[in-house]
Amino acid sequence: MKTCAACGRGFAPSSKHRKCPACRAKEQKHPCLTCGKPVRRQSAGCIACFNKLLDKRGPHNGNWRGGRTRYVSQSGYMYLRVPGHPRGKRNNNFVLEHILVMEQQLGRYLEKDEHVQRNEQRDRA
């Protein structure tokens, strides 16, 4: 049984350490950059501060400039964001542009069994 050089507690040494495991663990920590709580050397901050940062994603962040409203897939299809559209429920509110154009011309949503072909000439121009 050895006595810790820092706190004076007795501990069973596993090697030639002069301090107990609790004091060695305290030495390996440094204060959080935001709140000052002790954290491990590898971490920049504590979990509480990290969770506060997560709350500032998207529109809650001061640098938010709006989300994506359109994108082109790898196969060349244009998707537009249309919240509330029945076809957008499974695709994060994104719907194929050629389907939206046909629905506007018809004045109604397309049925599940109706299919629309893309205008290839418009895509080449």
pLDDT tens-place string over residues 19-48? 888 888 887 788 888 888 888 777 878 888
The reply to whether 78 and 102 lie within a common domain is: yes
Cα Rg for the chain, rounded, in angstroms? 30
Q: What percent of the chain has pLDDT over 90?
A: 26
Q: Span 87-116, mean pLDDT?
A: 91
The reply to whether 43 and 85 lie within a common domain is: no
Question: Is the residue at 45 inside a domain?
Answer: yes
Q: Give 6's pLDDT tier (boundaries 50, 70, 90).
A: confident
- Rounded to the nearest integer, the mean pLDDT of the chain is 84
Counting every residue written for the chain, the total comes to 125
The reply to whether 48 and 12 lie within a common domain is: yes
How far apart CA 49 and CA 63 sit, in angstroms, is: 19
Question: Is the residue at 63 inside a domain?
Answer: no
Judge whether residue 125 has pLDDT over 60. Answer: no
**CA torsion through residues 41, 47, 48, 53, sign:** positive
The reply to whether 82 and 36 lie within a common domain is: no
For the chain, what is the domain count?
Answer: 2
Question: Is the residue at 14 inside a domain?
Answer: yes
pLDDT at 121: 56
Question: Which amino acid would we find at residue 55?
Answer: D
Domain that holds residue 117: 70-124
Q: Span 59-79, mean pLDDT?
A: 84
Question: Is the residue at 62 inside a domain?
Answer: no
pLDDT at 100: 93
